[in-house]
């Protein structure tokens, strides 16, 4: 025990002796010359680059946060690399503000190693690095993504640069570009009875499917990561009731996708207190609202006479009126169609509204006629579905779900 306490005392004594000691070696020389909180020391400590072995030019004006342009051949690319080191402001947990040094070396390295002319057709650089996947060509686009990631990893390896210097990337849903004039989308496709491929793209638009980082580049791609992305794609199809996509996957795969950790959950529909059978896969949200195809399944399950299929169908309600539901009964728009945030590349398409038809009249809800007005995402409840109160009006059923509050 005495030996133990002696060791502790020795460590404490050495720690006290080191307080105020000067840093040794090259680091000590630079610290004495530039100061411990300088851009030069950040460059040396964080990136391993000797500030006196490269060119540093201050590019900020007086009164601004300091910023420097750094030019170096440190990465041995066969040409010099230029990037920035700059001071930025942050806030702590309790709202306290602080400043810190940062850099954009990963982005500049990426541009040098993976230039525009080498980039995959699915690669997008808008507010970050993404691979944009079209739901209508999912398998083809995922394969193109996998091949691009392999090429990026090879390029970094060839340059002798570690994979953790590759910037974070994402796999997302994509939209098809449309012409924009003065911040307003111009497209003849944004009309009622929109084609299926455009509806699918609007449903899938900018859906975050997976983050890709150095771990993915280190070996889990395309195996585990690819499988994870497929599960997200399947969950998206199940959530929106897209039967033609769901049918490509086995029942076991569909059940597995339900357990995926996403922000949304699917629950089994409950009709007048009776839970639908799992094998029928009639899912609702937690309130009891159904996707258009889930309502179709429920009608067929209950022995209702329905004309059409899951994508578009007609039936006669308990009030004797003819009702018509369909994914194609939507108006599409760019969201927002005109605002200070809109730009040529930065906008997203949404349903400006969706409706059903009752005796030839378009309705947004049982008592609200659809007038074709262009709505924004704030004005509507997101994606097309059949609301619980609409189901009750048409069939008399009280639909809830298996959702239970914690």
Find the mean pLDDT for residues 378-406. Answer: 83
d(CA 232, CA 375): 28
Find the mean pLDDT for residues 62-76. Answer: 93
Residue identified by tokens 């098809």 is: 176
Tens digits of residue pLDDT in 355-376: 899 999 999 888 888 887 665 5
User: Between these two residues, 380 and 267, which has the higher pLDDT value?
Assistant: 267
Read off the pLDDT band of 196 (50, 70, 90).
confident
Read off the pLDDT band of 201 (50, 70, 90).
confident
pLDDT at 339 over 60: no
- Could you report how far apart the first and last alpha carbons of the chain are, in Å? 51
For the CA atoms of 120, 121, 122, 126, what is the dihedral angle to 10 degrees? 90
Q: Residue 191's closest CA among 292, 311, 333?
A: 333
Q: Residue 214's closest CA among 261, 173, 161, 143?
A: 161
* Whole-number percent of the chain with pLDDT over 90: 48
> Phi/psi of residue 83, each to 5°?
-145, 180
Task: List the domain boundaries for the chain.
Answer: 21-103, 112-258, 267-401
pLDDT, position 351? 66
Tens digits of residue pLDDT in 206-244: 688 888 877 667 666 666 778 888 999 999 999 999 999
pLDDT, position 352? 63
pLDDT, position 224? 75
Tens digits of residue pLDDT in 120-137: 999 988 778 989 888 989
d(CA 303, CA 320): 17
As a residue count, the chain comes to: 406
* Angle CA 327–328–330, to nearest 5: 90
Find the mean pLDDT for residues 189-212. Answer: 76
d(CA 333, CA 344): 15
Q: Report the range of poorest mean pLDDT among 207-216, 310-319, 340-349, 378-387.
A: 340-349
DSSP, res 386: B
pLDDT at 250 over 70: yes
Tens digits of residue pLDDT in 280-302: 899 999 999 999 999 999 999 99
Residue 143 pairs with which residues in a beta bridge? none
pLDDT, position 381? 46
pLDDT, position 176? 54
pLDDT, position 19? 47
What value does the mean pLDDT of the chain take? 83
User: 304 CB contacts (<8 Å, ≥6 apart)?
Assistant: 315, 395
Residue identified by tokens 């994508």 is: 311
> Phi/psi of residue 124, each to 5°?
-130, 145
- Asked if 124 and 174 count as a contact pair (C-beta separation under 8 A), the reply is yes
d(CA 130, CA 145): 10
Read off the pLDDT band of 163 (50, 70, 90).
confident
- Cα four-point dihedral sign 258, 261, 263, 267: positive
pLDDT, position 380? 47
């Amino acid at each position: 025990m005495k030996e133990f306490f002696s060791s502790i005392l020795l460590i404490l004594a050495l720690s006290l002796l080191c307080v105020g000691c000067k840093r040794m070696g090259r680091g000590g020389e630079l610290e004495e010359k530039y100061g411990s909180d300088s851009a030069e020391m950040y460059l040396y400590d964080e990136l391993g680059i000797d500030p006196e072995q490269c060119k540093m030019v201050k590019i900020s004006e007086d009164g601004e946060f300091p910023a420097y342009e750094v030019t170096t051949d440190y990465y041995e690319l066969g040409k010099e690399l230029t990037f920035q080191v700059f001071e930025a402001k942050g806030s702590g947990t309790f709202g306290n503000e602080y400043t810190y040094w940062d850099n954009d070396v990963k982005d500049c390295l990426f541009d040098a190693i993976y230039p525009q002319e080498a980039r995959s057709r699915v690669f997008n650089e808008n507010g970050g690095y993404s691979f944009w996947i079209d739901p209508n060509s999912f398998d083809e686009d995922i394969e193109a993504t996998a091949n691009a990631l392999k090429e990026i990893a090879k390029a970094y390896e060839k340059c002798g640069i570690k994979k953790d210097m590759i910037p974070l990337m994402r796999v997302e849903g994509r939209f098809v570009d449309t012409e924009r004039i003065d911040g307003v989308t111009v497209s003849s496709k944004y009309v009622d009875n929109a084609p299926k491929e455009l509806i699918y793209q609007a449903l899938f638009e900018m859906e975050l499917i997976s983050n890709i980082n150095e771990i993915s580049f280190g070996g889990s791609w395309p195996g585990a990561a690819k499988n994870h992305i497929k599960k997200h794609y399947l969950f998206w199809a199940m959530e929106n009731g897209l039967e033609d996509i769901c049918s490509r996957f086995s029942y076991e795969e569909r059940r597995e996708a339900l357990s995926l950790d996403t922000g949304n959950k699917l629950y089994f529909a409950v009709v007048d207190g009776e839970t639908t059978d799992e094998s029928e896969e009639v899912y609702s949200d937690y309130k009891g609202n159904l996707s258009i195809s889930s309502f179709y399944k429920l009608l067929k399950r209950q022995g209702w006479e329905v004309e059409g299929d899951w994508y578009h169908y007609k039936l006669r309600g308990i009030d004797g009126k003819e009702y018509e539901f369909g994914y194609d009964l939507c108006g599409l728009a760019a969201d927002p169609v005109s605002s200070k945030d809109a730009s040529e590349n930065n906008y997203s398409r949404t349903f400006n509204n969706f409706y059903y038809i009752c005796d030839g009249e378009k309705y947004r809800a049982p008592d609200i006629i659809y007038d074709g007005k262009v709505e924004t995402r704030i004005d509507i409840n997101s994606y097309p579905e059949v609301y619980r109160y609409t189901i009750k009006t048409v069939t008399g059923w009280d639909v809830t779900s298996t959702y239970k509050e914690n």
